[in-house]
Structure 1
Amino acid sequence: FILHNRRVTVTFGVLDLSILIPYGKPDMPDAYVCTSLELNSRYNQYIVKFKPVADMGAVHHMLLYGCTEPGLSMNKCGTAVICSEGQQRILYAWAKNAPSLILPEDVGFEIGGKSGIASLVLQLHFGDPHDMPTCGIWQTVTEQRQKKLAGVYLLATGGSVEPRATTFLESACIMKEEKTIYPFAFRTHSHSLGKVISGYRVRVDEFGECKWSLIGKKDPQLPQMFYPVEHYIPVKNGDILAARCTMESNRKRMTYIGYKATSNIYSDF
C-alpha cells in the first residue's frame, strides 16, 4: 500500500486534507495497515470535520492518530508502535458505516505548527482479504484559531468473556488535569459480543458519596459514530470517568480481548 494525500483550497484559510490508502488487497485476514501524512510545520491548523471513505464490507474499523513522529512499521501495524516518539493522540475513529462527524461551532482538533502533532497516522483494520476500493478519511481543516480545543478521552479494558454467559467489563480513570472538559459526543466500540456500553462521570460529594451522571449509552452493534450527548456534563479535576460494557456470549469457549474480529475488543469514548 502507498499513501495518497491531497490538499484542495476551498476558501481562504480553509482546506480539505485527505489521508487515504488506494485500491489494493490485504495479504491476510484481520490485516492492520497504516500510512502517515506529514503536516504543515509553520502554522497551527484545526480539524473541524471528518468524512470517512470506507465500507464495513471491507474495513472493520479505522483510527486516526496525531503523532510527533510516526512509527517505523506502517505496513503491518496491528501491534506495532503507532508513534515512535513524543505525543500520540487519537483524533477520530470509525466503524460499521458511521457517517461524517462535524464538530460544534468554534471547536477543533489542533494539529501542525507548534501543537505537538507533526503528522497524522491512519490505521485500518481489514476483514477478510479481498479487493477493496480506496479507503481513508477526508478532513476539513482551517487555520482560524478555534475558541475551544477538541480531544478524545479513551476508556478501555482487558479481560475475558465466559462461555455461554453474560459478562460485565468495567474501566475507570481519575481526571488529574487542572481544567474542565465538556463531553459533547461519545462513541462505543466492540466486536460481536458487545451489547451495551455506557459511560459515566462519577463525582464524590462533600459527604464522601459517589454521584453517577450518565454521559452516554449505546448498542455497539449500531453504526459506531460519535453520538451527541443529551446533556452537557462538565468533568473537572478529581472527577472519575467510568465505563461498563455488557458482553453476551453463546460460544462454547472463552473469548479474550484482542485485535482480531474473532476475539473481542471494547472501548468507550
Structure 2
Amino acid sequence: MNQPITVYTLIIAALFGMVQSIRELPYISVDSKQSDEEQFQYKVVIPPVQTTEVNRYICYSKSLEEIGESYITKLLTEPDPIVKPHHVDAGLCLEPLHEDASWDCQRGLACKGDAVEFSVTDNFQSVDKPFYVLPKDVSAKVGGNGKKYFLIVQMHIYEPLKEPASPANITLTFKKKPTKYNYQKFLLGNEGFVPASKPNGFFTHVGCEWKRPTAIAFHYYVHTHVHGIFAEGFLIRNNTWTYLGGQKTRERHQVWFDVVNGPVEIRPGDILASRCLFINNEEKDIDLKSEDTCIFQLSVGYDIQYQEYFARPPGCISTSPDFTFCSNEKTAALCDR
C-alpha cells in the first residue's frame, strides 16, 4: 500500500471491513434467559490482601467441595472500588498451587490440573459489576467422579496496597442438571514486541489451526493495556475468512460480546486468527509480555464426550512482528485485509 496509513484509516478498516456470512446453528442459543429449573447462588468474598509493590498478580483459591456435582450458569464479579484491580480473572481448577489460600502469582491461573477459565473483568469497562451469563444449553461442571474443584481467582493490582483490603467478591450461580454442552475458553494472543515509532498504528497478528473436535463459539472478549486500542478475530475455512467480531479494547460498555452472526461452529482444520492495533509513539519497542498484551478470547461449548481435549483452556500464541497473516499460508486469506 503506497499511501500512508493513518490511525483513523486503520480503525475504520477494522470496524467496517467486509463481513462474510456465518451459518447460524440451531442447537445452541445465545439467549441468556435461563430455564425454569431451580438454581442457587454461592458467594465468595476474597480475603484481604496487601502488597508493597506495583503491578502485582495475586491469586486466591477456594474449595467448592461442599457444592457437590453442580453446573455453573452465571458468574458475578464485584471489584472493590477502592482497590480498583486492573482485572479479575476467575476460573475452576482441579489442582491449584495452594488450597484455600492467597499467594503472589504470575500471569495465568496458577493451576496444575484440569482448569476452566471462566470470566474476566477489567478496569476499561464502564460497569463495575459485570454479570456473565452462559447460553441456556452451556454450563461449567463442578464436582462429580470424585473430583474436588476449586474456584481460583487471579487479581492484577497496579498500585501498592498499604492496608489490607479485599479486591473483589465472586458470586456463582449453579443448577443441578447438566446441559448439552460443557464450557471452556480459547485464547489467541501475542508474544514478541510492537516495533518502536509506530504513531500511525501497527497490527500484531495471531493464527493457529484448530486441531480439536468440533466446538461452538458464542462469545468473545478483547483486551490490551495502554498502547493497544482495538482487537478483532476471524475464522478461516477453505481459504475463505469469516468475521467473528472486533471491539475497541478500552472504554468498552461491556466485557463479553456475542460472536457476529453466531454462534459459530469451529471444525477440525479451521484456522482461528486475530489481530490487535497498537499505537507506539515511543522510540523503543513495546514488549508484549511485560509492557502490553494482545488478547482475543472465545467462549466455546463442546460435547462432554470430548472432555479430554478441553481439560485445560486451549490457546494460540504467535510472535510479533515475525508472524503476519501474509507470511503464513494458513492465514493468507487475510493478507489483504
Q: Which interval holds the TM-score relative to the shorter structure?
A: 0.7 to 0.9
Structure 2 CA distance for partners of 1:118 and 1:27, relative to 1, 3 Å: same
2:287 pairs with 253, 256, 264, which one? 256
Structure 2 CA distance for partners of 1:148 and 1:80, relative to 1, 3 Å: closer
**Counterpart residue number, 2:117:** 90
Q: Counterparts in 2 of 1:189-208, with a 5 A limit?
A: 189-204=223-238
Gap regions ≥5 residues in structure 2: 1-35, 298-337
Normalised to the residue count of structure 2, the TM-score between the two structures is 0.67
**Cα distance in 1 for residues equivalent to 2:134 and 2:37:** 20
Which is higher, the Rg of structure 1 or of structure 2? 2
Following TM superposition, by how much is the alpha carbon of 1:79 offset from its aligned partner in structure 2, in angstroms?
5.1
Structure 2 CA distance for partners of 1:95 and 1:80, relative to 1, 3 Å: closer
SS at match of 2:235: strand
Normalised to the residue count of structure 1, the TM-score between the two structures is 0.83
Following TM superposition, by how much is the alpha carbon of 1:201 offset from its aligned partner in structure 2, in angstroms?
0.8
Structure 2 CA distance for partners of 1:109 and 1:34, relative to 1, 3 Å: same
Q: Which moved more, 1:90-99 or 1:237-246?
A: 90-99
8 Å Cα contact 1:195-1:248 kept in structure 2: yes
**Cα distance in 2 for residues equivalent to 1:12 and 1:213:** 36
**Counterpart residue number, 1:240:** 271
Gap regions ≥5 residues in structure 1: 1-10, 205-209
2:261 pairs with 228, 231, 256, which one? 231
Give the helix-richer structure, 1 or 2: 2
**Counterpart residue number, 2:184:** 151
2:94 pairs with 68, 71, 74, which one? 68
Deviations 1:202-225 (A, max 9, x none): 101xxxxx1110111011113361
Deviations 1:63-108 (A, max 9, x none): 1232221014941102587113x22331211112452111122321
Deviations 1:117-145 (A, max 9, x none): 72121010012124555513211111121
**Cα distance in 1 for residues equivalent to 2:193 and 2:84:** 27
**Counterpart residue number, 2:160:** 129
**Counterpart residue number, 1:220:** 249
**Counterpart residue number, 1:19:** 44
Structure 2 CA distance for partners of 1:12 and 1:156, relative to 1, 3 Å: same
Structure 2 CA distance for partners of 1:55 and 1:171, relative to 1, 3 Å: farther
Structure 2 CA distance for partners of 1:238 and 1:117, relative to 1, 3 Å: farther
2:58 pairs with 33, 39, 42, which one? 33
Following TM superposition, by how much is the alpha carbon of 1:167 offset from its aligned partner in structure 2, in angstroms?
2.3
Structure 2 CA distance for partners of 1:81 and 1:107, relative to 1, 3 Å: closer
Structure 2 CA distance for partners of 1:81 and 1:228, relative to 1, 3 Å: closer
**Cα distance in 2 for residues equivalent to 1:117 and 1:154:** 25
8 Å Cα contact 2:76-2:171 kept in structure 1: yes
**Counterpart residue number, 2:71:** 46
**Counterpart residue number, 1:184:** 218
Aligned residues: 249
8 Å Cα contact 2:45-2:170 kept in structure 1: yes
Q: Which amino acid aligns with 2:289?
A: G
Q: Which moved more, 1:18-27 or 1:158-167?
A: 18-27
Structure 2 CA distance for partners of 1:115 and 1:202, relative to 1, 3 Å: farther
**Cα distance in 2 for residues equivalent to 1:116 and 1:251:** 50
Root mean square deviation of aligned Cα: 2.6
